Amino acid sequence: MAWRNNLHCIISIILLMLAACSTPPRYHANGKLLGERVSTSVDSKIARYYLEHYLQGERRNQVLDDKIDEIYERQNSDIPTRDELRLLSNEYSVDFATLFLVDRLQADRNNEEIKKQFDHFLNNTVLTELESSAVDSYLVLFVPGWDYIENGHFTGSDFAVPRKLITQLGIENHLVEIPSNGGVEENAQFISDDLIQYSQTGKDIIIVGASSAGPAIHLSLAGNLKKHLKKKIKAWVNIGGILRGSPLIDHYQKWPQSWLFGIAVWYKEWDREKILSMSASRSRERFASLDGVHENTLIINYMGLSLSGQLSKYAKENYLLLKKQGPNDGLTLLSDIIAPNSLTIVAIGSDHFFAEDPRINDKTIALMKVVISYLEKAMHFDN
C-alpha cells in the first residue's frame, strides 16, 4: 500500500536526521594495517597519526607517542574490554579505539597465524573440490540471520551464495530453517534439534552463523546440547554474531525513540518479545550465565574493522547512534562479537554488512579452507 511506503520513507528520513546530528569529523589517513593498505577518513588527528605512523613503527610526535605508549602500558597484553574501549573512545576517538582493539587482537600469536593462513587462501582462491578426506569427514550447517525468508536474497542472511560456493568445494551443507523472525531461545532449540539430527550422519559438524544467529548458536552449543553431542561440533564460525546483543534495541526502548520502535514492529508484524531477546541487556545476562562451548570446538570470529570512513550505506546511521558506546560495526559493539576461547579474523574495510564487500565470495572460500585446514591439523596432531 502507498501509505505504508510513505510511512517507511518518513521513518527513514527521521533516522537520517538523527544520525546527521552526530556526524564525526573527517581526517584523511593512509597507512598499512594487518598487511593491507588502508586509505580512508578517520574521526580524529590522533587516529590518523596512530594509523599512519605509530602502527608503522614511526615515532614522529613526542606528545602523541607518549600518550599512546601510556595506553599500551596500562593495557599490558590483554584484549581491551567493552568499558575500556568506551573510555578510550570518549577520551580520544572511536576510530582510535577501533584501531587499538584490532592491534591488540592481532598481537595474539594465534590470531596472527590464522590471519596469515586466511590471507594465503584469499590470494589463492581456486574454486575446486577439497581433498576427499575433508569432503567425506565434514558437514556444514548454516544458520540464517534475521528476516532471511523475506529479505535474505537482498541482505545475504539466507546464505544462498555461500552455500553454493561450499557445495562447489564438494562439502555437504544444509540450512537450519529457524523461524525467520524468531527469538534467541526459540532459534536455539531449532538449532539443537538439527544438530542432534545431523550428528547421526557420522560426519563431524561445522556450524556457521551470522549476526542474530550468533547468540542462538552460542546458547545451543553452551547450554542446550548434551556433552556427547557437543563433541561432534568441531567448529563454529561466528560471522559478526551479536553474542551480547545489540545496544540499538535497548536504545529504541527509551522515549522518545520508543515510538519509532513500536511503529516498526507493527509495520513489519514482528513479535516485540522476540526482538527484545536480542537486546544488549538481556543478551549480556544470558551470555554470562552460559558454560563454555566444548573445549575441542574450534571457534573463529569474523569481525569487520568498521572505521568511520569505510562504513557501508547500511551501517552509517546506526554506527553514529552507537558511537558513544565505543567501537561498533553498525549493529553491535565490536568487543561483544568475540566469543570465549576463540580466534579472530579481522575483515579490513567491512562492517556488519559483509555482503557489501566486493570480495565476499573469495573470502567465503578462504574462510572455509582455513577452518578445514585447522581441523585437519588438529586431527593429525591427535593421531
State the pLDDT at residue 125: 65
10-residue stretch averages of pLDDT, the chain, 383 residues long: 40 47 81 95 97 97 97 88 97 98 96 96 74 82 95 91 94 97 97 95 96 97 84 96 97 90 89 96 97 92 95 94 96 97 95 94 94 84 52
State the pLDDT at residue 28: 97
116 Cβ partners below 8 Å, 6+ apart? Answer: none
- pTM value is 0.92
State the pLDDT at residue 129: 62
State the pLDDT at residue 171: 93
State the pLDDT at residue 45: 97
State the pLDDT at residue 1: 35
Distance of CA 238 to CAs 211, 215, 340, Å? 8, 10, 11
State the pLDDT at residue 132: 66
State the pLDDT at residue 324: 95
CB 343 within 8 A of CB 371: no
State the pLDDT at residue 91: 97
State the pLDDT at residue 20: 47
Structural domain spans, the chain: 2-109, 127-249+271-382
316: enclosing H helix or E strand? helix 316-322
Amino acid (1-letter code) at residue 40: T
State the pLDDT at residue 228: 82
State the pLDDT at residue 126: 65
Q: What is the pLDDT of residues 228-252, one digit of tens each?
A: 888 999 999 999 999 999 999 999 9
State the pLDDT at residue 213: 98
Topology (CATH level 3) of domain 127-249+271-382: Rossmann fold (3.40.50)
State the pLDDT at residue 86: 97
Distance of CA 338 to CAs 162, 208, 215, 382, Å? 22, 15, 11, 27
Would you tell me the crossing angle of helices 62-75 and 45-52 to the nearest 10 degrees? 80
State the pLDDT at residue 155: 87
State the pLDDT at residue 2: 37
State the pLDDT at residue 17: 45
Q: What is the pLDDT of residues 153-193, one digit of tens each?
A: 888 999 999 999 999 989 999 999 999 999 999 999 999 99
State the pLDDT at residue 158: 95
Neighbours of 22 (CB within 10 A): 11
